[in-house]
Structure 1
Amino acid sequence: MKVLVFAPHNDDEVLGVGGTIAKYAAQGHEVFICEVTKSNTDEEIKEERSEALAAHQLLGVKETIFLDFPIVTLRETPLVKINAEFLKVVEDIRPNIAFIPHKGDMHMDHTVVSHSAMVALRPINGIKVENIYAYETLSETEWNLPTVDNAYMPNVWSDISKFIDIKKEAMNCYQSQLKQPPHPRTLEIIEALAKLRGSTVGVPFAESFMLVRRLI
């Protein structure tokens, strides 16, 4: 089985899907990560991509695809260009399962990626993705305006009790992105959220998702 994760920025994939990525990889499935944006300077790009590759190696990712869209300004980028790049990724990988960011996140890059990912994942031209899930990203999903349209309402949970440590270890690779408590992007808060999500379904640690589409 092939699993594709769209990440607007380096580290979003670990925050939202890190434990589930590690679980899929441990089960022998092929996991692909598409990192959509890059930072503004060559030094920052080199650092962030080095961190991403280190994190993905720990998680067991098969391949990391780096796109070159500028960070923060995806909203000003023609959607036709973003859609075309995403479609190439989907056509090359032909995933069975896809994870995309929640469209109601604070950062507009997340909204654009969510929209363009859904365009690329349409069931046409021989592409049939069996399951699509939206994931939450600490400091993005919970910080936006509390409106009905922005609400994150999980209805799928992944038990990551055996993988919470490797999720934290992978996030620790992103030293350029980690903060200090009480900021959400800390190992302490990552574990706390996983405990909260786990408590909903009676397991020690979990990641939660919103089901977008499922083919039975």
Structure 2
Amino acid sequence: MSLLDGIGRALVIAPHPDDEVLGCGGTMARLADMGREVHVAIVTRGMPPRFDPADVDAVRKEAKAAHDLLGVRETHYLDLPAAELDGIPHSRVNEAISGLVARLAPDSLFLPFIGDVHVDHQLIFTSGMVAARPRGGAYPARIYAYETLSETNWYAPYVTPAFCPNVFVDISAVLPRKLGAFQCYGSQVQSFPDERSVETLEALARLRGSTVFRAAAEAFVLVREVG
């Protein structure tokens, strides 16, 4: 029995548009192909004057195209201020994520890794764990942390938490869809050797796959599982 066999409804929480594809795009595609529900929550929205509203709207169109390609059931926008989560009461972040988790009741939750260099990622991981507290009978049975290129590996792994994956999902058959979904985010794709490039994303998938003798894989840290 694989990790995917136990998932009926998954919720991927992304701090910003494209994080979900970078970290979980292949896993989302496989789950959708199996007929499972895949939901994505994009927590933040770029706010003026730092972000141009036209650019924000364009990125949302890119997200729709990417999610359609992967088979996402529904995309949820929580509209908290991007790159400013540390400037608002943390209770707002908790409430937004907890409310969605309570409404969707996912059995599996995918969160950004707490050791990512971006503070938004760190705070959203913490709020995701708050939302998934094992109280009552309904809470996510499985919590996974995913890696995000240019965030997970750019902190200080000997000082801050290091991403040491212990769960791997074979995405060999759906890697082209993952890469295609990333390419839908035309405003975010950079030219190699930038980490936010198609070539680097494929290289990471090949590396993670080779780790477990597969052609391509996504890697996760299992945070908690209740059987």
Interval of TM-score (by shorter of Structure 1 and Structure 2):
over 0.9
Amino acid at match of 1:168: L
Q: 1 CA distance for matches of 2:131 and 2:55? A: 29
| Length, aligned pairs only | 216
Q: 1 CA distance for matches of 2:93 and 2:136? A: 18
Amino acid at match of 2:37: E
Shift of 1:148: 4.8
Deviations, residues 74-133 of structure 1 (Å, cap 9, x unaligned): 111111111111111001110011100000001110001100011011111432211100
Partner in structure 2 of residue 115 of structure 1: 126
Gaps of 5+ in 2: 1-7
Counterpart secondary structure, 2:66: helix
Gaps of 5+ in 1: none
Shift of 1:147: 2.1
Deviations, residues 155-204 of structure 1 (Å, cap 9, x unaligned): 00000001100000000000110111111111100000000000010100
Report the RMSD for the aligned CA atoms in angstroms.
0.9
Which of the residues 124, 146, 155 maps onto 2:135? 124
Which of the residues 70, 75, 88 maps onto 1:77? 88
Partner in structure 2 of residue 31 of structure 1: 38
Partner in structure 2 of residue 89 of structure 1: 100
Moved over 3 A (4+): none
Q: TM-score, normalised by structure 2?
A: 0.93
Partner in structure 2 of residue 172 of structure 1: 183
Amino acid at match of 2:33: A
Q: 1 CA distance for matches of 2:129 and 2:167? A: 19
Partner in structure 1 of residue 201 of structure 2: 190
Partner in structure 2 of residue 15 of structure 1: 22
Contact kept? 1:121, 1:127, Cα under 8 Å:
no
Q: 2 CA distance for matches of 1:124 and 1:130? A: 12
Shift of 1:67: 1.1
Amino acid at match of 1:23: R
Q: TM-score, normalised by structure 1?
A: 0.98
Amino acid at match of 1:140: E
